[in-house]
């Protein structure tokens, strides 16, 4: 993904290793996009910046 692919409100996912169960696709909501990173929010409300190459893909309505 790159910055041109994203805008605020988009739902995206990243692979997150949960430990015992292996990697799961973590759903995230895009809050802001700048030149280098995207600020995203988890479903639990935490916000953080993530680099575009760490995002797996845009999520479909079936995955939400």
Tens digit of each residue's pLDDT (9 = 90 or more) over 19-57:
888 899 999 999 999 999 999 999 999 999 999 999 999
Cα atoms in the 13 Å half-sphere on the side-chain side of 55: 28
pLDDT of residue 63 exceeding 90, the answer is no
pLDDT of residue 3 exceeding 90, the answer is no
Q: What is the pLDDT of residue 61?
A: 85
Q: Which of these CATH numbers, 3.30.420.40, 3.40.920.10, 2.30.30.140, 2.60.120.10, describes 3-58? A: 2.30.30.140
Q: What is the pLDDT of residue 22?
A: 87
Starting at the edge strand that comes first in sequence, how are the strands of the sheet with 37-42 ordered?
47-51, 37-42, 23-33, 11-17, 57-58
Q: How confident is the model at residue 2 (pLDDT cuts 50, 70, 90)?
A: confident
């Amino acid at each position: 993904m790159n910055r041109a692919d994203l805008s605020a409100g988009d739902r995206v996912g990243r692979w997150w290793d949960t430990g015992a169960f292996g990697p799961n696709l973590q759903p995230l909501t895009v809050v802001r996009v700048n030149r280098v990173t995207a600020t995203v929010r988890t479903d639990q409300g935490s916000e953080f910046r993530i680099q575009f190459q760490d995002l797996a893909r845009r999520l479909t309505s079936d995955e939400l």
